[in-house]
Amino acid sequence: MLAGAEIACHKARMKCGRERSGGVTRRGVLAGAAATGLAACTTRRDPNALRLWAMSYEGDYSPHLMPAFTRATGIPVEVQSLPWTAAHEKLLTAHAGGALPDVMMLPNGWVGEFALVGAIAPVTDGALLADLFPATLATVEHRGVSHAVPWSVAPQVQFYRRDLLADAGYDAPPEDWAGWREMGRRLKRRRPDDYAFLMLLNWWDALFTFASQTGTSLLRERDTRGNFRNPAFREALAFYRSLFDEGLAPPIVSTEMQDPLAAFAQGYFTIYPSGPSLLLDLHRRRSEIAADRWGVARMPGPRGPGPVSGVSAALAVSRTSTRPDAAWALVRHMTSAATELRFQTLIGNLPARRSAWSDPQLTAPALAPFAAQMLDLSVDPNIVEWERVRIEVQLIAERVVRHLMTIDEGLATMDRRVDQLLAKRRALVQAGKLA
């Protein structure tokens, strides 16, 4: 891809030079225009620049954080933005091909995996690991050594339509499952063509939030076997399915919901379990949905809110980086409280540095539920298969929701499938090669 662009650049410039010497021709002007259009690829070859990869909004907006760094250190930075749907394979193939950037963003769940394969370097500067929430720190460890610096924390919360809830007689969503579902039924009765909740069936976050609120652990025997056939997870799955069975949530996947925010603004659903990244969308598109029409609350638990996974992002430095000192300097800059606060105003990302939370900027009422949840984070199993376990469990949960399986069949299938996924890990743990 890169090589192709460079060749195109090169060709465009050659053509341009040759034809200009013979006077200005139409083709020469066009080629010149193409060359300026491709000028981006000449900067890409800047040998002094540090390379940074980040996903989604973080990738799109990180360039705004770079001028301050370049001014202070004189080191230019090139940022590449990756889509979430292809990030995992892109990073792994880049590692296998020796093409990782100097600094990369990783969701905390992937840190152990990339540390295991030797893609990222351990954090040597203890100062980088101070002033963080303990639960996020646990997720960046591999064999007891931190391999990334937490950058943001994004616990799942619920966004709700204030006006629609008021119509149904609520100021805020109830905090326990029974009350939450009852609210859903009332909303559905008032607006039978619309829905109360949006929980996309190919995303695991809603189900795993319910599960973590019960406080159960989903793996057993040193994280080598599934533990889904336990009463607490069964209760969570049954609750999850009931929301679809009663027509309170539409049984759809993300490809069918092209624009969830527009649907939220139109009242297609009232409650949207999501993370802080939605804050940016809500701010950008405030003409569609005014700020007084939505609110934020913690996700409901079986008997009141409980711990939720702080799905969050961390920054890691590649082992193959030729300039580790500059790379760590960039990590230090990006994870400083000041930069994290600036990123909060830009894209809504919530700072991982605890000291940033005493800043007046974070006292907005919409952020209070996040602040409360931040003190009550669950810790995910720190194993390389965890990402896949979540996805495969969600696939089975989708089949349960669509009544292709009963709940108990689903739970048994989850355990069987997860045991299969963890077979290699089990063998390595038994052989004493893995903790």
Report the distance separating Cα 47 and Cα 69, nearest Å.
17
Report the distance separating Cα 420 and Cα 408, nearest Å.
18
- The CA distances from residue 90 to 53, 87, 94, in Å, are 10, 5, 6
For another protein, which residue of 19, 58, 102, 113 counts as binding (CB under 8 A)? 113
Q: ∠ CA 117-309-305 to the nearest 5 degrees?
A: 170
For another protein, which residue of 36, 43, 93, 322 counts as binding (CB under 8 A)? 93
75 scored as a contact of another protein (CB under 8 A): no
Helix 84-96 × helix 108-116 angle, to 10°: 20
Strand 145-146 and strand 141-142: the pairing is antiparallel
According to CB under 8 A, which residues from 212 to 241 bind another protein?
Answer: none
Binding mask 249-278 for another protein (x = CB under 8 A): --xxxxxx-x--------------------
Stretch that binds another protein, among 90-98, 184-192, 209-217, 365-373 (CB under 8 A): 90-98
According to CB under 8 A, which residues from 355 to 394 bind another protein?
Answer: 384, 388
202 scored as a contact of another protein (CB under 8 A): yes
For another protein, which residue of 34, 38, 94, 116 counts as binding (CB under 8 A)? 116
**Residue 253 CB, nearest approach to another protein (Å):** 5
Strand 377-378 and strand 141-142: the pairing is unpaired
Spell out the residues 6+ positions from residue 394 whose beta carbon is closer than 8 angstroms to its own: 201, 202, 203, 204, 207, 208
CA 342 to chain centre: 19
Token pair belonging to 254 = 């993300």
Stretch that binds another protein, among 24-32, 207-215, 245-253, 333-341 (CB under 8 A): 245-253
Report the distance separating Cα 297 and Cα 145, nearest Å.
35
Nearer to another protein, 221 or 256 (CB): 256
For another protein, which residue of 25, 36, 85, 322 counts as binding (CB under 8 A)? 85
Q: Which residues pair with 316 in a beta bridge?
A: 104
For another protein, which residue of 124, 345, 420, 430 counts as binding (CB under 8 A)? 420
**Residue 344 CB, nearest approach to another protein (Å):** 31
Amino acid at site 119: A
Binding residues vs another protein (CB under 8 A): 85, 88-89, 92-93, 95-96, 113, 116-118, 201-202, 251-256, 258, 384, 388, 395, 398-399, 402, 404, 420, 424-425, 428, 433
